[in-house]
Amino acid sequence: MLVVAYLVYSYAFPLLDVQTQERDLPWMLVMLCGTGLLMAAGSFMLWDLATSVVRHADASTGNRPVSKPGTPTPVASPETAAVQQYVQQSDEVDSLMQSFSRMLVTIEQQAADVNEYARRLDTAYKDLESTSAQLKEFSFKDEVTGLYNRRFFSIRLEEEVSRYRRFNHPVSVVLLDLDGFKAVNDDLGHAAGDETLRAMADILLKQSRGINVICRYGGDEFAVLLVETSKSGARLYADRIRYVLSTWAFAHGRRVTASFGIASLPEDVAPAADELIRAADEALYAAKRAGKNRVSVHEDIGAAPGVRPGA
């Protein structure tokens, strides 16, 4: 009864509205108190009954006369035998209950040990996952710009080319190379050069969609993998980057421009990652030959000898 009353008070009572709670709260408290008193009185009566039975059994056992040798042993009355049997059964029940309690304590301790071990194992597994993710992230990141490196770009490019083979979705690659970056390093030092690279990375991140893959491809050259983007969309993207770069205020005060080369699937080459990179690289050389600070697509490639990026 006390358990039922507590459950009603703990779970059913909070579901009532505020006015009903204020009205029924005194009755709930009275019910709980009354139930508690009834339980206490019942427990006292049971304890008193058990004590009386034990006293009666002890008295019956103590008043039994000691028989002399050769004297027939008196036969106990049925009432006395019943009381003795009850006491004996009570002792057996108490012994069983004590054994059961000790067994429960052992089981609870073992369960607590297992839970603690499972918790520690889960914590160690999560730490291992976090460390592995950090190591993987570091292996795919450029330490100067924080962009992805060439290794990661190659992996993602292979995945997108494979996806193009299955679903025929367009994919484009933009290679860009900073014009005259060597002069910045030579005149202002490598610290200024690194700051220029970080500024370029910031421009690319701000002007790109989240699904695009931006990496530092090497030196002052960057590569952008444009997912689900046709050649016309790639050209609009490169023109936007070129415009933002032309108005960007670098910390060293010099103006920095870039040349861009674009190649796309399915227009330019066969669906292979290395062929797509080669086509974008040739388009970049064409932009350099044409005077730098411009965007060139694969069709712009001419027969004139190329100018290597970085010039």
Active site residues: 220
Exposure on the CB side of residue 286, measured as CA atoms within 13 A: 19
Measured in degrees and rounded to the nearest 5, phi and psi for residue 80 equal: -65, -40
Query: Per the structure block, which two tokens stand in for 51?
Result: 């004590």
Query: Per the structure block, which two tokens stand in for 228?
Result: 């689900």
Contact at 8 Å (CB) between 254 and 184?
A: yes
> For the CA atoms of 17, 18, 23, 26, what is the dihedral angle to 10 degrees?
110
Rounded to whole angstroms, the Cα distance separating 25 from 13 reads 9
Query: Per the structure block, which two tokens stand in for 288?
Result: 């350099």
- In 3D space, the residue among 259, 295, 294, 265 whose CA is nearest the CA of residue 278 turns out to be 265
- In 3D space, the residue among 308, 176, 199 whose CA is nearest the CA of residue 255 turns out to be 199
Please calculate the CA angle 277-281-284 and round it to the nearest 5 degrees. Answer: 140
Query: Per the structure block, which two tokens stand in for 112?
Result: 């607590």
Collapsed DSSP state (helix, strand, coil) of residue 214: strand
Query: What is the residue whose two structure tokens read 């924080």?
Result: 146
- In 3D space, the residue among 216, 207, 196 whose CA is nearest the CA of residue 140 turns out to be 216
Sheet holding 295-297, edge to edge: 213-218, 221-227, 171-179, 257-265, 295-297
